[in-house]
């Protein structure tokens, strides 16, 4: 019997307009009414998750930054896993050497070693990647007001930043050169104690090796007293892979990458066609 449902956000819970469909919210509420706990398991940081939860009146626990942070229903941090300072320095040096723009997620906000002009260029590319119907000019204007850009902090003195006692949870980089991104995955993946994944073909996400969705979700389930087969996970991309290897009750989205579909127990509809809601309703029907 399923007692916990954990869902990825981008490409899974969220449709291509980056919203949660009303029918999906209804399905979540029905599951909760039936005694099933619903949780988020995402690569996002809390500041971009909380507004979506509040907008849809969803109160739940969250695995964040691919597993680098875990928060309760009220947003309190229960666990965080940071990248060691020496390793973080090596990652920054590699990214700078290859001129790959990256955002550094910390306990004190999001930082970058880029200039404001470089950061805006990267944000415009990312905006266009998410919204291909826009013109480059429209993407640039939209990028200027994106929280990821507006709230960005700039590092002027790297040594001072690294010695300030700041905690580095995760690195995220996007680049239109897929070959370069794949090269970065290989090079950084060779560093000891590091997990490399991605939500999209054109990005790289870096955390401590123990900060993976599946690993921290397994800890959460154990603390709740749930068996592995009482947890259902939903996802679509590489950064969901650890959830699918940790839990056999796994559901790949119709729009998931082939690697996720291959190891999933079930395949539901796409994120634009209520895939999460349909998976939840299937569980509720089977557990009547």
DSSP letters, 223-263, are HHT--GGGEEEEE-SGGGHHHHHH-SSEEE-TT--HHHHHH
pLDDT tens readout for residues 173-192: 988 889 999 999 999 999 99
Q: Is pLDDT at 77 greater than 90 in this prediction?
A: yes
pLDDT tens readout for residues 18-40: 899 999 999 999 999 999 999 99
Same domain? 94 vs 153: yes
Of 63, 68, 198, 174, whose CA–CA distance to 122 is shortest? 174
CA angle 179, 183, 188 (to 5 degrees): 150
- Please give the mean pLDDT across all residues of the chain: 93
SS (H, E, C) 95-123: HHHCCCCEEEEECCEEEECCCHHHHHHHH
Residue 44 · residue 78 · CB < 8 Å:
no
Residue range 252-267: mean pLDDT, rounded: 96
Backbone angles phi, psi at 136, to 5 degrees: -55, -35
Q: Among residues 149, 175, 206, which one ends one of the domains?
A: 206
265 DSSP 8-state letter: S
Residue 244 · residue 258 · CB < 8 Å:
no
Beta bridge partners of 37: 4
CATH number at residue 269: 3.40.50.1000
Q: Among residues 206, 226, 254, which one ends one of the domains?
A: 206
- Distance separating alpha carbons of residues 144 and 146, to the nearest angstrom: 6
Q: Is pLDDT at 100 greater than 90 in this prediction?
A: no
Same domain? 238 vs 172: no
Place of tokens 């739940």: 60
What's the token pair of residue 143? 């990028």
Same domain? 51 vs 87: no
Same domain? 107 vs 147: yes
Of 235, 243, 219, whose CA–CA distance to 267 is shortest? 235
CATH number at residue 177: 3.30.1240.10
Residue range 75-101: mean pLDDT, rounded: 93
Same domain? 111 vs 198: yes
pLDDT tens readout for residues 204-215: 999 999 999 999
Which pLDDT score is estimated for 254?
97
- Distance separating alpha carbons of residues 138 and 135, to the nearest angstrom: 5
Same domain? 91 vs 37: no
Same domain? 90 vs 181: yes
For 133, counting Cβ atoms within 10 Å of its Cβ (0-12 exposed, 13-18 middle, 19+ buried), the class is exposed
- Distance separating alpha carbons of residues 180 and 5, to the nearest angstrom: 36
Owning domain of residue 201: 83-206
Q: Is pLDDT at 99 greater than 90 in this prediction?
A: no
Same domain? 52 vs 99: no
Q: Among residues 175, 206, 237, which one ends one of the domains?
A: 206
Same domain? 160 vs 233: no
Report the SS3 class of residue 150.
Answer: helix
**Helical axes 275-286 vs 22-33, angle rounded to 10°:** 20
Same domain? 6 vs 117: no
Number of folded domains that form the chain: 2
> Of the ranges 55-59, 76-80, 128-132, which one carries the lowest mean pLDDT score?
128-132
Same domain? 30 vs 92: no
Beta bridge partners of 10: 14
Same domain? 150 vs 257: no
Instruction: Give this prediction's pTM.
Output: 0.88
């Amino acid at each position: 019997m399923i007692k916990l449902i954990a869902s990825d956000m981008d490409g899974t819970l969220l449709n291509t307009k980056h919203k949660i469909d009303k029918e999906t919210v209804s399905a979540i509420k029905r599951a909760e009414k039936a005694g099933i706990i619903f949780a988020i398991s995402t690569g996002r940081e809390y500041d971009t998750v909380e507004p979506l939860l509040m907008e849809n009146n969803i109160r739940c626990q969250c695995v964040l930054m691919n597993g680098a942070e875990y928060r309760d229903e009220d947003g309190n941090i229960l666990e965080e896993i940071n990248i060691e300072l020496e390793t973080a320095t090596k990652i920054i040096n590699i990214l700078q050497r290859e001129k790959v723009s990256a955002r550094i997620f910390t306990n004190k906000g999001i930082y970058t070693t880029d200039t404001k002009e470089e950061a805006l260029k990267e944000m415009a590319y990312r905006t266009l990647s998410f919204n291909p119907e826009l013109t480059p000019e429209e993407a640039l204007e939209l990028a200027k007001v994106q929280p990821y850009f507006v709230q960005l902090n700039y590092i002027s003195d790297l040594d001072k930043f690294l010695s300030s006692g700041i905690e580095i949870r995760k690195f995220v980089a996007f680049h239109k050169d897929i070959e370069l991104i794949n090269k970065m995955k290989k090079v950084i993946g060779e560093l000891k104690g590091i997990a490399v994944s991605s939500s999209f073909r054109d990005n790289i996400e870096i955390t401590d090796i123990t900060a993976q969705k599946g690993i921290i979700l397994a800890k959460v389930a154990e603390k709740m007293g749930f068996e592995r087969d009482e947890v259902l996970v939903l996802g679509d991309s590489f950064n969901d892979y650890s959830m699918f290897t940790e839990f056999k009750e796994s559901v790949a989205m119709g729009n998931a990458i082939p690697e996720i579909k291959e190891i999933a127990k079930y395949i539901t509809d796409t994120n634009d066609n209520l895939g999460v809601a349909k998976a939840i309703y299937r569980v509720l029907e089977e557990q009547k």
